[in-house]
Amino acid sequence: MGQRPIYVMAEQDLPGLLIMGIGGTHGVQESLAALLKKHFSVITMKELLENKKEVGKKIQCIFVSEFRPTIDQELLESLPNLKVIGNSGVGVDHLNLKMISNFGVRVTNTPHAVADSTADMGMALMLASARRLVEGSQIAVSPDTNYFAADWLGVEVTRATLGIIGMGRIGYKVAQRARAFEMKILYHNRNRRSQEEEQAVGACYSEMEDLLQQSDFVMLVVNLTPQTEKLIGKKELGLMKPTATLINISRGAVIDQDALVEALQNKTIKAAALDVTYPEPLPRNHPLLKLNNVIITPHIGTATVQATHMMAEEAIANMLSVLNCQPIPSEVFPQ
Protein backbone atom coordinates (compact mmCIF):
# COMPACT_ATOMS: atom_id res chain seq x y z
CA MET A 1 0.00 0.00 0.00
CA GLY A 2 1.34 3.42 -0.95
CA GLN A 3 1.88 6.10 1.67
CA ARG A 4 -1.07 8.37 2.25
CA PRO A 5 -0.44 12.01 1.43
CA ILE A 6 -0.25 14.20 4.51
CA TYR A 7 -2.47 17.26 4.34
CA VAL A 8 -1.55 20.13 6.57
CA MET A 9 -4.78 21.80 7.51
CA ALA A 10 -5.08 25.53 7.93
CA GLU A 11 -6.06 26.44 11.47
CA GLN A 12 -9.56 27.46 10.48
CA ASP A 13 -10.09 24.00 8.95
CA LEU A 14 -9.13 22.13 12.10
CA PRO A 15 -12.03 20.56 13.99
CA GLY A 16 -13.35 22.80 16.75
CA LEU A 17 -12.46 21.63 20.25
CA LEU A 18 -13.98 23.08 23.37
CA ILE A 19 -11.65 22.80 26.35
CA MET A 20 -13.53 22.51 29.59
CA GLY A 21 -12.22 22.92 33.07
CA ILE A 22 -12.95 25.65 35.57
CA GLY A 23 -13.13 28.87 33.58
CA GLY A 24 -12.44 27.22 30.22
CA THR A 25 -8.67 27.10 29.98
CA HIS A 26 -7.93 27.10 33.67
CA GLY A 27 -5.96 24.01 34.59
CA VAL A 28 -4.90 23.29 31.04
CA GLN A 29 -1.29 24.35 31.06
CA GLU A 30 0.14 26.33 28.17
CA SER A 31 2.07 23.40 26.77
CA LEU A 32 -1.05 21.28 26.85
CA ALA A 33 -3.00 23.93 25.03
CA ALA A 34 -0.20 24.02 22.43
CA LEU A 35 -0.48 20.24 22.02
CA LEU A 36 -4.23 20.45 21.50
CA LYS A 37 -3.81 23.35 19.06
CA LYS A 38 -1.75 21.15 16.75
CA HIS A 39 -4.85 19.09 16.01
CA PHE A 40 -7.80 21.29 16.82
CA SER A 41 -9.04 24.80 16.63
CA VAL A 42 -9.23 25.36 20.38
CA ILE A 43 -12.23 27.21 21.77
CA THR A 44 -12.62 28.22 25.39
CA MET A 45 -15.85 28.20 27.38
CA LYS A 46 -15.67 31.99 27.52
CA GLU A 47 -15.58 32.19 23.72
CA LEU A 48 -18.52 29.82 23.46
CA LEU A 49 -20.59 31.77 25.95
CA GLU A 50 -19.87 35.04 24.14
CA ASN A 51 -21.33 33.73 20.86
CA LYS A 52 -23.11 30.46 21.52
CA LYS A 53 -24.87 30.26 18.16
CA GLU A 54 -21.88 30.73 15.84
CA VAL A 55 -19.15 29.19 17.98
CA GLY A 56 -21.39 26.30 19.10
CA LYS A 57 -21.71 25.08 15.52
CA LYS A 58 -17.92 24.77 15.12
CA ILE A 59 -17.41 22.47 18.09
CA GLN A 60 -17.01 18.79 17.26
CA CYS A 61 -15.11 17.70 20.35
CA ILE A 62 -14.87 18.57 24.01
CA PHE A 63 -11.65 18.02 25.95
CA VAL A 64 -12.56 17.56 29.59
CA SER A 65 -9.74 18.49 31.91
CA GLU A 66 -8.98 16.94 35.26
CA PHE A 67 -11.31 19.43 36.94
CA ARG A 68 -14.25 17.24 35.95
CA PRO A 69 -16.66 19.97 34.88
CA THR A 70 -20.38 19.35 34.49
CA ILE A 71 -21.64 18.71 30.99
CA ASP A 72 -25.38 19.29 31.01
CA GLN A 73 -28.25 19.04 28.59
CA GLU A 74 -28.24 22.77 27.90
CA LEU A 75 -24.59 22.68 26.82
CA LEU A 76 -25.14 19.66 24.59
CA GLU A 77 -28.15 21.33 22.98
CA SER A 78 -25.97 24.28 22.05
CA LEU A 79 -23.42 22.04 20.23
CA PRO A 80 -25.27 20.54 17.22
CA ASN A 81 -22.08 19.13 15.65
CA LEU A 82 -20.52 17.63 18.75
CA LYS A 83 -19.24 14.11 18.12
CA VAL A 84 -17.01 13.19 21.03
CA ILE A 85 -16.15 14.09 24.59
CA GLY A 86 -12.52 13.22 25.28
CA ASN A 87 -12.17 12.85 29.02
CA SER A 88 -8.67 13.39 30.34
CA GLY A 89 -8.61 10.74 33.06
CA VAL A 90 -10.04 7.29 33.51
CA GLY A 91 -12.97 8.01 35.84
CA VAL A 92 -16.08 9.28 34.08
CA ASP A 93 -18.47 9.34 37.04
CA HIS A 94 -18.83 13.11 36.57
CA LEU A 95 -20.38 12.54 33.13
CA ASN A 96 -23.98 11.56 32.55
CA LEU A 97 -23.16 8.87 30.00
CA LYS A 98 -26.76 7.95 29.23
CA MET A 99 -27.77 11.54 28.53
CA ILE A 100 -24.65 12.14 26.43
CA SER A 101 -25.23 9.01 24.35
CA ASN A 102 -28.80 10.14 23.72
CA PHE A 103 -27.24 13.05 21.83
CA GLY A 104 -25.29 10.54 19.71
CA VAL A 105 -22.03 11.77 21.27
CA ARG A 106 -19.19 9.30 22.05
CA VAL A 107 -17.21 9.43 25.28
CA THR A 108 -13.58 8.38 25.59
CA ASN A 109 -11.16 8.18 28.51
CA THR A 110 -7.44 7.65 29.12
CA PRO A 111 -6.89 4.41 31.07
CA HIS A 112 -3.34 3.89 29.82
CA ALA A 113 -1.98 7.34 30.58
CA VAL A 114 -3.15 7.43 34.19
CA ALA A 115 -2.06 3.99 35.32
CA ASP A 116 1.54 4.55 36.46
CA SER A 117 1.05 7.88 38.20
CA THR A 118 -2.06 6.69 40.04
CA ALA A 119 -0.39 3.45 41.12
CA ASP A 120 2.61 5.48 42.34
CA MET A 121 0.19 7.62 44.34
CA GLY A 122 -1.28 4.54 45.99
CA MET A 123 2.19 3.41 47.01
CA ALA A 124 3.11 6.92 48.18
CA LEU A 125 0.02 7.07 50.41
CA MET A 126 0.64 3.60 51.78
CA LEU A 127 4.27 4.39 52.63
CA ALA A 128 3.46 7.84 53.97
CA SER A 129 0.83 6.46 56.29
CA ALA A 130 2.89 3.45 57.40
CA ARG A 131 5.96 5.57 58.15
CA ARG A 132 4.02 8.58 59.51
CA LEU A 133 5.62 10.96 57.04
CA VAL A 134 3.17 13.81 57.51
CA GLU A 135 3.39 13.74 61.31
CA GLY A 136 7.19 13.35 61.09
CA SER A 137 7.50 16.29 58.74
CA GLN A 138 5.39 18.45 61.02
CA ILE A 139 7.54 17.53 64.03
CA ALA A 140 10.78 18.11 62.13
CA VAL A 141 9.83 21.72 61.31
CA SER A 142 8.12 22.50 64.63
CA PRO A 143 9.80 24.66 67.31
CA ASP A 144 10.04 21.53 69.50
CA THR A 145 13.44 19.98 68.88
CA ASN A 146 13.19 17.55 71.76
CA TYR A 147 11.83 14.53 69.95
CA PHE A 148 12.92 10.95 69.50
CA ALA A 149 12.41 8.57 66.61
CA ALA A 150 11.18 6.03 69.13
CA ASP A 151 8.14 8.24 69.74
CA TRP A 152 7.23 8.05 66.06
CA LEU A 153 7.41 4.39 65.30
CA GLY A 154 5.72 3.39 62.11
CA VAL A 155 5.13 -0.03 60.62
CA GLU A 156 6.85 -1.72 57.70
CA VAL A 157 5.22 -2.14 54.37
CA THR A 158 7.76 -4.78 53.42
CA ARG A 159 6.28 -8.28 53.72
CA ALA A 160 2.93 -6.89 54.97
CA THR A 161 -0.34 -8.04 53.38
CA LEU A 162 -1.88 -5.72 50.80
CA GLY A 163 -5.49 -6.18 49.70
CA ILE A 164 -6.24 -4.54 46.37
CA ILE A 165 -9.92 -4.01 45.63
CA GLY A 166 -10.24 -3.43 41.89
CA MET A 167 -7.64 -5.19 39.76
CA GLY A 168 -7.90 -3.20 36.55
CA ARG A 169 -4.93 -1.53 34.93
CA ILE A 170 -4.11 0.65 37.97
CA GLY A 171 -4.69 -2.12 40.51
CA TYR A 172 -2.34 -4.37 38.56
CA LYS A 173 0.34 -1.66 38.47
CA VAL A 174 0.00 -1.36 42.25
CA ALA A 175 0.53 -5.12 42.53
CA GLN A 176 3.67 -4.89 40.38
CA ARG A 177 5.07 -2.26 42.71
CA ALA A 178 4.00 -4.10 45.88
CA ARG A 179 5.81 -7.20 44.69
CA ALA A 180 9.08 -5.29 44.91
CA PHE A 181 8.25 -4.74 48.59
CA GLU A 182 7.79 -8.51 49.01
CA MET A 183 4.20 -7.89 50.04
CA LYS A 184 1.66 -10.68 50.24
CA ILE A 185 -0.90 -9.52 47.68
CA LEU A 186 -4.59 -10.37 47.80
CA TYR A 187 -7.02 -8.91 45.31
CA HIS A 188 -10.71 -8.78 44.65
CA ASN A 189 -12.17 -7.89 41.28
CA ARG A 190 -15.33 -8.46 39.25
CA ASN A 191 -13.32 -10.64 36.89
CA ARG A 192 -10.52 -12.84 38.04
CA ARG A 193 -7.17 -12.25 36.30
CA SER A 194 -5.57 -15.11 34.35
CA GLN A 195 -3.25 -17.49 36.15
CA GLU A 196 -0.27 -16.04 34.27
CA GLU A 197 -1.20 -12.50 35.30
CA GLU A 198 -1.68 -13.54 38.92
CA GLN A 199 1.63 -15.38 38.98
CA ALA A 200 3.53 -12.53 37.34
CA VAL A 201 2.83 -10.28 40.33
CA GLY A 202 2.26 -12.98 42.95
CA ALA A 203 -1.34 -11.92 43.60
CA CYS A 204 -4.01 -14.26 44.99
CA TYR A 205 -7.69 -13.82 44.20
CA SER A 206 -9.71 -13.42 47.38
CA GLU A 207 -13.32 -12.91 48.41
CA MET A 208 -13.93 -9.41 49.77
CA GLU A 209 -14.55 -10.62 53.29
CA ASP A 210 -11.30 -12.60 53.50
CA LEU A 211 -9.34 -9.77 51.92
CA LEU A 212 -10.68 -7.27 54.46
CA GLN A 213 -9.98 -9.59 57.37
CA GLN A 214 -6.42 -10.45 56.36
CA SER A 215 -4.96 -7.26 54.94
CA ASP A 216 -2.67 -4.82 56.71
CA PHE A 217 -3.34 -2.31 53.96
CA VAL A 218 -6.53 -2.24 51.90
CA MET A 219 -6.28 -0.21 48.72
CA LEU A 220 -9.37 0.87 46.77
CA VAL A 221 -8.84 1.06 43.03
CA VAL A 222 -12.36 0.49 41.68
CA ASN A 223 -14.32 2.77 39.35
CA LEU A 224 -17.21 4.59 40.94
CA THR A 225 -20.43 3.04 39.64
CA PRO A 226 -23.83 2.49 41.29
CA GLN A 227 -22.46 -0.95 42.28
CA THR A 228 -19.36 0.41 44.01
CA GLU A 229 -20.90 3.41 45.74
CA LYS A 230 -20.36 3.00 49.51
CA LEU A 231 -18.68 -0.33 48.84
CA ILE A 232 -16.79 0.15 52.09
CA GLY A 233 -19.19 0.88 54.93
CA LYS A 234 -19.58 0.08 58.61
CA LYS A 235 -19.74 -3.69 58.03
CA GLU A 236 -16.62 -3.79 55.82
CA LEU A 237 -14.64 -1.51 58.14
CA GLY A 238 -15.66 -3.77 61.01
CA LEU A 239 -14.09 -6.72 59.22
CA MET A 240 -10.71 -4.99 58.89
CA LYS A 241 -7.95 -5.46 61.44
CA PRO A 242 -7.63 -2.73 64.09
CA THR A 243 -4.04 -2.38 62.86
CA ALA A 244 -5.04 -1.96 59.21
CA THR A 245 -4.92 1.12 56.99
CA LEU A 246 -7.45 1.98 54.28
CA ILE A 247 -6.07 3.70 51.19
CA ASN A 248 -8.33 5.23 48.56
CA ILE A 249 -7.11 6.27 45.10
CA SER A 250 -10.42 5.69 43.31
CA ARG A 251 -13.34 7.97 44.22
CA GLY A 252 -14.45 9.30 47.60
CA ALA A 253 -17.99 7.97 47.26
CA VAL A 254 -16.71 4.38 47.23
CA ILE A 255 -16.42 4.77 51.01
CA ASP A 256 -19.26 5.58 53.37
CA GLN A 257 -17.42 8.54 54.85
CA ASP A 258 -19.53 8.80 58.01
CA ALA A 259 -18.75 5.16 58.75
CA LEU A 260 -15.06 5.83 58.09
CA VAL A 261 -14.98 8.77 60.51
CA GLU A 262 -16.57 6.57 63.17
CA ALA A 263 -14.13 3.71 62.50
CA LEU A 264 -11.15 6.05 62.73
CA GLN A 265 -12.43 7.76 65.87
CA ASN A 266 -13.16 4.43 67.55
CA LYS A 267 -9.89 2.90 66.28
CA THR A 268 -11.83 0.11 64.53
CA ILE A 269 -9.09 0.57 61.95
CA LYS A 270 -5.74 2.22 62.49
CA ALA A 271 -5.57 4.84 59.76
CA ALA A 272 -6.73 6.05 56.36
CA ALA A 273 -4.84 7.64 53.49
CA LEU A 274 -7.14 9.26 50.97
CA ASP A 275 -6.39 10.94 47.67
CA VAL A 276 -10.11 11.25 47.05
CA THR A 277 -13.00 12.33 49.24
CA TYR A 278 -16.63 13.21 48.90
CA PRO A 279 -17.03 16.07 48.17
CA GLU A 280 -13.73 17.51 46.98
CA PRO A 281 -12.48 19.52 48.69
CA LEU A 282 -14.03 18.57 52.01
CA PRO A 283 -15.74 21.38 53.94
CA ARG A 284 -13.12 22.82 56.29
CA ASN A 285 -15.07 21.71 59.36
CA HIS A 286 -15.34 18.09 58.19
CA PRO A 287 -14.45 15.60 60.97
CA LEU A 288 -12.00 13.75 58.68
CA LEU A 289 -9.80 16.85 58.68
CA LYS A 290 -9.57 16.80 62.46
CA LEU A 291 -8.24 13.26 62.84
CA ASN A 292 -4.53 12.65 63.21
CA ASN A 293 -4.72 9.10 61.84
CA VAL A 294 -5.72 10.36 58.38
CA ILE A 295 -3.65 11.61 55.47
CA ILE A 296 -5.58 13.47 52.80
CA THR A 297 -4.20 14.67 49.48
CA PRO A 298 -6.20 16.77 47.00
CA HIS A 299 -6.93 14.19 44.27
CA ILE A 300 -3.49 14.32 42.72
CA GLY A 301 -3.24 10.74 41.49
CA THR A 302 -2.48 11.87 37.95
CA ALA A 303 -0.96 15.23 38.78
CA THR A 304 2.43 14.66 37.22
CA VAL A 305 3.99 16.41 34.24
CA GLN A 306 4.23 13.09 32.42
CA ALA A 307 0.71 11.84 33.11
CA THR A 308 -0.89 15.16 32.22
CA HIS A 309 0.77 15.09 28.81
CA MET A 310 0.11 11.42 28.21
CA MET A 311 -3.53 11.94 29.13
CA ALA A 312 -3.84 14.76 26.61
CA GLU A 313 -2.13 12.65 23.96
CA GLU A 314 -4.41 9.68 24.66
CA ALA A 315 -7.48 11.92 24.61
CA ILE A 316 -6.35 13.48 21.32
CA ALA A 317 -5.83 10.04 19.74
CA ASN A 318 -9.29 8.98 20.91
CA MET A 319 -11.02 12.09 19.61
CA LEU A 320 -9.26 12.00 16.24
CA SER A 321 -10.27 8.34 15.85
CA VAL A 322 -13.91 9.31 16.33
CA LEU A 323 -13.63 12.17 13.83
CA ASN A 324 -11.86 9.95 11.30
CA CYS A 325 -14.30 7.04 11.82
CA GLN A 326 -11.49 4.76 12.90
CA PRO A 327 -11.53 2.21 15.73
CA ILE A 328 -11.56 4.15 19.00
CA PRO A 329 -8.78 3.10 21.41
CA SER A 330 -10.65 3.86 24.65
CA GLU A 331 -14.38 4.39 24.35
CA VAL A 332 -16.65 4.47 27.40
CA PHE A 333 -20.19 3.17 27.07
CA PRO A 334 -23.17 3.84 29.32
CA GLN A 335 -23.69 0.87 31.67
Ligand X SMILES: O=C(O)C(=O)CO
Interface residues toward ligand X, by CB under 6 A: 89-91, 114, 118, 299, 301-302
Residue 192 designated active-site = no
Q: Residue 169 or 184: which CB sits closer to ligand X?
A: 169
Beta carbon of residue 91, minimum distance to ligand X (angstroms, whole number): 3
Phi-psi region of 104 (alpha: psi -120 to 50; beta: other; left: phi over 0): left
Beta carbon of residue 249, minimum distance to ligand X (angstroms, whole number): 7
Angstrom distances, CA of residue 181 to CA of 46, 134, 202: 49, 21, 12
CA pair distance 180, 55, nearest whole angstrom: 52
CA pair distance 232, 121, nearest whole angstrom: 20
Q: Residue 86 or 301: which CB sits closer to ligand X?
A: 301
Question: Per the residue annotation, which of 54, 182, 197, 280 is the catalytic one?
Answer: 280
Question: Per the residue annotation, which of 299, 309, 313, 314 is the catalytic one?
Answer: 299
CA pair distance 153, 132, nearest whole angstrom: 8
Residue 190 designated active-site = no
Beta carbon of residue 310, minimum distance to ligand X (angstroms, whole number): 11
Contact 15, 8 (CB under 8 A): no
Beta carbon of residue 114, minimum distance to ligand X (angstroms, whole number): 4
Beta carbon of residue 68, minimum distance to ligand X (angstroms, whole number): 8
Show the DSSP H helices in the chain as ranges.
Answer: 30-37, 45-50, 52-58, 73-77, 97-102, 111-130, 133-141, 169-180, 195-201, 208-214, 234-239, 257-265, 305-323
Question: Per the residue annotation, which of 236, 251, 284, 331 is the catalytic one?
Answer: 251
Reported as type and span, the H/E element at residue 182 is none
Q: Residue 80 or 298: which CB sits closer to ligand X?
A: 298
Q: Residue 18 or 90: which CB sits closer to ligand X?
A: 90
Cis status of the peptide bond prior to 279, with omega within 30 of 0: yes
Q: Residue 59 or 311: which CB sits closer to ligand X?
A: 311
Q: Which residue is nearest to ligand X (CB)?
A: 301
Residue 47 designated active-site = no
Residues forming the active site: 251, 280, 299
